Amino acid sequence: MRYYPILALLLINGFCASAQTANNASTPNIIYIYADDLGYGEIESYGQLKIKTPNLNRLREEGMKFTNHYTSMPVCAPARCMLLTGKNGGHSYIRGNYELGGFADSLEGGQMPLPEGTYTLPKMLKAAGYTTGMAGKWGLGMHDNTGSPLKQGFDFYVSVLDQKQAHNFYPTHLWLNDERLKLNNPEIDVHRKIDPDTAKDADFDYFVGNEYSGDVMTKYALEFIDKSKDRPFFLYLPFPQPHVSLQAPQAYIDEYIGKFNGEQPYYGEKGYAFSKYPLSTYAAMITYLDAQIGKVMDKVSELGLDDHTIIMFSSDNGTTFNGGVNADFFNSVDGLRGLKMDVFEGGIRVPFLARWPGQIKAGSTTDLISVQYDLMATLAELTRQDPGDTNGLSFLPTLLGKDSQQKRHEYTYWEYPEKGGQIAVRMGKWKGVKINVRKSTYANTPWMIFDLESDRNETEDLASQHPDLVKRFDEIVQKEHQPAHVREWEFINPKF
Share of the chain above pLDDT 70, in %: 95
DSSP letter at 109 equals: E
Phi-psi domain of 401 (left: phi exceeds 0; alpha: psi -120 through 50; beta: other): left
Domain of residue 416, CATH code: 3.30.1120.10
pLDDT at 495: 80
Looking at the fold, whether 196 and 215 belong to one and the same domain comes out as yes
Catalogue the E-assigned strands of 412-465. 412-416, 422-427, 430-434, 448-451
pLDDT at 91: 98
Q: Which domain holds residue 443?
A: 412-489
Looking at the fold, whether 400 and 440 belong to one and the same domain comes out as no
Looking at the fold, whether 71 and 217 belong to one and the same domain comes out as yes
pTM over 0.85: yes
pLDDT at 10: 39
Q: How many CB atoms lie within 10 A of CB 7?
A: 9
Looking at the fold, whether 228 and 251 belong to one and the same domain comes out as yes
Looking at the fold, whether 307 and 377 belong to one and the same domain comes out as yes
Q: Are 414 and 423 in contact, with CB atoms under 8 Å apart?
A: yes
Looking at the fold, whether 87 and 179 belong to one and the same domain comes out as yes
Q: Is residue 7 part of a domain?
A: no
Looking at the fold, whether 384 and 434 belong to one and the same domain comes out as no
For the segment 213-233, the average pLDDT, to the nearest whole number, is 98
Domain of residue 361, CATH code: 3.40.720.10
* Residue 496: band (very low, low, confident or very high) from pLDDT cuts 50, 70, 90: low
Q: Using the predicted structure, report yes or no on whether residue 377 has a pLDDT greater than 60.
A: yes
Looking at the fold, whether 54 and 190 belong to one and the same domain comes out as yes
257-268 pLDDT, tens digit each = 999 999 999 999
pLDDT at 195: 86
For the segment 120-130, the average pLDDT, to the nearest whole number, is 98
| CA proximity to 286, closest of 311, 317, 256 | 256
389-433 pLDDT, tens digit each = 999 999 999 999 999 999 999 999 999 999 999 999 999 999 999
Lowest pLDDT segment from 21-35, 49-63, 161-175, 424-438: 21-35
- What type of residue sits at position 81? C
d(CA 211, CA 59): 28
Q: Are 487 and 421 in contact, with CB atoms under 8 Å apart?
A: no
Q: Is residue 430 part of a domain?
A: yes
83-122 pLDDT, tens digit each = 999 999 999 999 999 999 999 999 999 999 999 999 999 9
272-290 pLDDT, tens digit each = 999 999 999 999 999 999 9
42-91 pLDDT, tens digit each = 999 999 999 999 999 999 999 999 999 999 999 999 999 999 999 999 99
Share of the chain above pLDDT 90, in %: 92
Mean pLDDT of the chain: 94
Beta bridge partner(s), residue 64: 354, 364
Q: Which residues contact 23 (CB under 8 A, 6 or more apart)?
A: none
Looking at the fold, whether 264 and 298 belong to one and the same domain comes out as yes
1-25 pLDDT, tens digit each = 444 444 444 333 443 333 333 345 6
